Structure formats: C-alpha cells, structure tokens
C-alpha cells in the first residue's frame, strides 16, 4: 500500500521536473528515470509508474492518451531483447541506452504527428543533430545514476546500503 502511494505521489514532482526540463532544455527526465528504474524495481511498480506518468504527460502535453506508454513499452521490449545479447552493465550496454533514448526522442513527435495530423513530419539534419546531442546528455545522466546506484548498494546484498 505504501509503495502504491509513493508511486502516485511521485507523479507530481516528476511532472514539475519533466515540464521544466522539456521547456528549458527540451529533453525528457521521464525517459531517463524509466531506463534507470528498469529491472531495478519490481515490474508492477515500474509499469504502474509508467502508466500514471504517461497518461499525465499525454494530458499535459496535449498528445493522444497512451502515446508515451506505447512508445516506452515497445522500446523497453526491444531493449530487454537487446540486453540478452549485450549486458546492461558492460560499457557497450550504454550504446543500447543511447539508441533507446534517441529512438524515444524521435518516435514521440513522429507518432504524435501521424496520429493527430495524418502527416509524417519532416526530419531535418538539425533535428537529428539535436536529437543526438539530447541522447548523449541523457546517457551521461544515466551513467551518473548507474554509478550512484552501484556506489550506494553493497555488492554482496542488493537490499543493504553501504555506509563506508
């Protein structure tokens, strides 16, 4: 019950942070949080968070309801299949995270334009370059979060916190 309450309450600060970063820096903290939490917390809690946050984002950003959930679900499935070949903890695993983030940044506006306007949007080289820059920054933040998780957790037990 407490976990469900924490998931529901965490939506409000996440919406504030997401709106700020989308307006100021135009990149999504939501995608970074989802990648960082994927396979680190229980699936039911992650998917509950994705559902609630996705519906809230779709509503606030005036997108079709379920767009973020469909894009993230598809990309998480592809990422999970890719992690069977390349380990998440290896340095080459971060390339898969880069592909995930770049795909997320490209698919959200493309699918939004197709669903709302029935038009495939024009993707210019400047848009692709900006998407790659946002992807590099997002993966850098993911690396920092991963390092933080590994420094806080004890290597022998995943549930205890190292205090040294």
Check if the beta carbon of residue 40 is closer than 8 Å to that of residue 149. yes
Q: Which sign does the torsion angle of CA 39, 44, 46, 51 carry?
A: positive
pLDDT of residue 14: 85
In this model, does residue 135 exceed pLDDT 70? yes
pLDDT of residue 102: 93
- pTM (2 decimals)? 0.83
- What is the chain's Cα-based Rg? 17
d(CA 38, CA 106): 21
Check if the beta carbon of residue 79 is closer than 8 Å to that of residue 100. yes
pLDDT of residue 13: 87
User: Strand, coil or helix: what is 108?
Assistant: helix
In this model, does residue 160 exceed pLDDT 60? no
pLDDT of residue 67: 92
pLDDT of residue 105: 92
What are 59-114's pLDDT values in tens digits?
988 889 999 999 999 999 998 888 888 877 777 788 888 999 999 999 999 999 99
What are 5-34's pLDDT values in tens digits?
877 788 888 888 888 888 888 888 888 888
Check if the beta carbon of residue 72 is closer than 8 Å to that of residue 104. yes
Domain locations in the chain as residue ranges: 2-152
In this model, does residue 159 exceed pLDDT 60? no
Q: What is the DSSP letter of 89?
A: T
Rounded to 10 degrees, the C-alpha dihedral 53/7/72/13 comes to: 50
Helices then strands, each counted (H, E), the chain? 6, 0
């Amino acid at each position: 019950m407490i976990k469900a309450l924490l998931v529901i309450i965490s939506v409000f600060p996440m919406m504030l942070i997401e709106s700020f970063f989308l307006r100021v820096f135009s990149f999504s903290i939501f995608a970074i949080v989802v990648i960082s939490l994927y396979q680190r917390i229980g699936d039911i809690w992650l998917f509950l968070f994705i559902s609630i946050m996705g519906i809230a984002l779709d509503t606030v950003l005036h997108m079709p309801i379920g767009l973020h959930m469909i894009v993230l679900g598809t990309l998480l499935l592809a990422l999970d299949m890719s992690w069977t070949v390349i380990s998440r903890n290896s340095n080459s695993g971060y390339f898969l995270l880069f592909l995930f983030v770049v795909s997320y940044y490209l698919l959200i506006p493309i699918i939004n334009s197709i669903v709302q306007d029935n038009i495939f949007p024009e993707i210019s080289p400047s848009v692709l370059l900006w998407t790659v820059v946002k992807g590099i920054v997002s993966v850098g933040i993911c690396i920092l979060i991963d390092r933080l998780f590994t420094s806080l957790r004890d290597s022998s037990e995943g549930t205890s916190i190292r205090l040294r």
